[in-house]
Amino acid sequence: MVTLAFDVYGTLINTQGIQLTLADMLHDEQQAAAISRRWREKQLEYSFRRGLMEQYQPFSVCTRQALSFALSEASVALSDDQCDQLLMAYRHLPAFPDAVSLLQQLSLMGVDAFGFTNGEAAIASELLENAGLIEDLKGIVSVDLLRTFKPAPRVYQHFLETADSRADNTWLISGNPFDILGARHAGWRTAWVNRADAPFDPWGEAPDVTVPSLTDLAGKLGL
């Protein structure tokens, strides 16, 4: 039986769900959407930087600092209480609807499905519980213990050791191309969830499977 590692932020969980909270504060849906996208971009950038610099801070710190940057860049001033409210809302982001149905299907099939995340385990657990996904996952594997982030090679080995799996028997399912490339480099099978119909990074490597949503993933993996 294969082991499935699902990226959390951007694959199971819709990070752009924060737009509703932002829009309520700003009374401007277009500005809220732009800040939300920029927040996510800087969140990932800060994790990459810290991984390369070997100057680790938890993903929650990267998230807070990215929010500060995105607001400053947009010349938006929010109170400390409003920023705390946004960060708390980040623990209540919605699941993609196709993630709910797929994980339920996999659970009934007895497939080992894990959450695999750059976030701290406790925060990811709370997020997935709030989104109604936690019961259909066998466990959550966080990179926090290693004090670095995906796509560092050792985080993929950490997953294998934690999940008691082998690289050639493990699939990464992710909407993030950097994560797909990291897993391929580690010898894993990969499935890219390309919801935005975007081009893949031109590195001369491609995912084993590409799907527009999680709906048909089980069939594509031959489960």
Instruction: Give dist(CA 53, CA 149) in Å, integer.
Output: 11
> Is there a catalytic annotation at residue 7?
yes
Q: State the Cα–Cα distance between residues 36 and 70, nearest whole angstrom.
A: 8
Structure tokens at 101: 């149905």
Radius of gyration of the CA atoms of the chain, in A: 17
Q: Which of 7, 98, 136, 179 is catalytic?
A: 7
Cα–Cα distance measured from residue 211 to residue 195, given in angstroms and rounded to the nearest whole number: 8
Q: Where are the alpha helices (DSSP H) in the chain?
A: 19-26, 29-53, 59-73, 80-89, 97-109, 121-130, 153-163, 177-185, 217-220
Residues assigned a catalytic role: 7
